[in-house]
Amino acid sequence: MYVSEHLDRAKNPLFSYEIIPPYRGKSAKELLQIVEQILPFEPPFIDVTSHTAEAYYEELENGMIKRHIRKKRPGTISLCGIIQNRYNIDTVPHILCHGFTKEETEDVMIELNFLGIHNVLAIRGDESNYRKPRNNGSVNYYAVDLVEQLVDLKKGKYLENISNSEPIPVCIGVGGYPEKHYESPNIDIDIRMLKKKVEAGAEYIVTQMFFDNKRFFDFVDRCRQEGINVPIIPGIKVLKTVNQLKNLPKFFHVNLPLPLVEEIQSNPKHVKEIGVNWTTKQCKELLEYGVNCIHFYIMNDASAVINVIKNL
């Protein structure tokens, strides 16, 4: 089922989840255990993140430097296939611009179609120290370009003219930023860019994590005023460690409310409890606002999110 269909048919609030593939060389066992932990809460869909390739360098015995290219976390497609077909839960693989050519994107979509996976989240992806070389424009530079390619595939339009080609059914989601994307000069420009993705064919929006609901409410109001009428799903993360007071703003460009920060600094040994309580209050307020789906960023530990769900 498409994500859009889940949202349209929901009679009660939905809770969806996002997980991250294990590091290269690691087993998927622990990740699948996380999926099994959230099964009792009937997830409508689970996102699986994707990661661009990175360059690293090795010094050889002769003193020469050898450059290697690898993904630290491969396996997005296979994990989506396992989860969807083993547990009968719709999966949403993240499809990136960075590190992928249009040809590779097309091949990925063909493979996903073979697996019966018909939802994707189209995002530009994080910056890395490696990019695919430009090859006659065969790279999607921005998420809107990627959405346009995916819409073409929905129509059966491939990069090369193929006789009797079949369309690839897919529901396309995109990312949104209640506190604006860190590269945008202001929130108004950011929302205009988001509107272009929706006009290109995106059917729903999942936001970056936020810890102040007012920012989300303001973001939704601005989107509606701009004419963006697709569903907007709030993305929520439970703060679990003291180090996240520094790392989350640094790596995800989000602001942490002063009351939350002060409470954790005053009671660092109770950070997990504080995080769960804060997120529970956030989610209750979001549900009262009328949100019919909350997307939890689990990554590699479901315990805190499960506690929040139980509170709700």
* % of the chain with per-residue pLDDT over 90: 77
Give strand pairing partners of 69: 55
- Let me know: does 232 contact 203? Beta carbons within 8 Å: no
Task: Give Cα separations from 237 to 17, 47, 207, 211 (angstroms).
Answer: 10, 14, 11, 8
The encoded tokens of residue 55 equal 């360059």
Domain 3-51+77-311 = CATH 3.20.20.220 = yes
Residue 145 Cα to chain centre, angstroms: 17
**Mean per-residue pLDDT for 42-56?**
77
pLDDT tens per residue, range 248-263: 999 899 999 999 999 9
- Write down the pLDDT at residue 305: 96
Q: What angle do CA 162, 121, 68 make, to 5 degrees?
A: 80
Task: Give Cα separations from 248 to 166, 170, 239, 242, 294 (angstroms).
Answer: 43, 32, 9, 10, 19
pLDDT tens per residue, range 145-158: 999 999 999 999 99
The encoded tokens of residue 238 equal 């439970």
Q: Categorize the per-residue pLDDT at 59 as very low, low, confident or very high, splitting at 50, 70 and 90.
A: very low
pLDDT higher than threshold 50 for residue 57: no
Q: Categorize the per-residue pLDDT at 103 as very low, low, confident or very high, splitting at 50, 70 and 90.
A: very high
CA quadruple 308, 20, 14, 248: dihedral sign: positive
Look up the pTM and report it. Answer: 0.90
Give the domain ranges of the chain.
Answer: 3-51+77-311
The CA distance from 289 to 72, in Å, is 39
Q: Categorize the per-residue pLDDT at 129 as very low, low, confident or very high, splitting at 50, 70 and 90.
A: very low
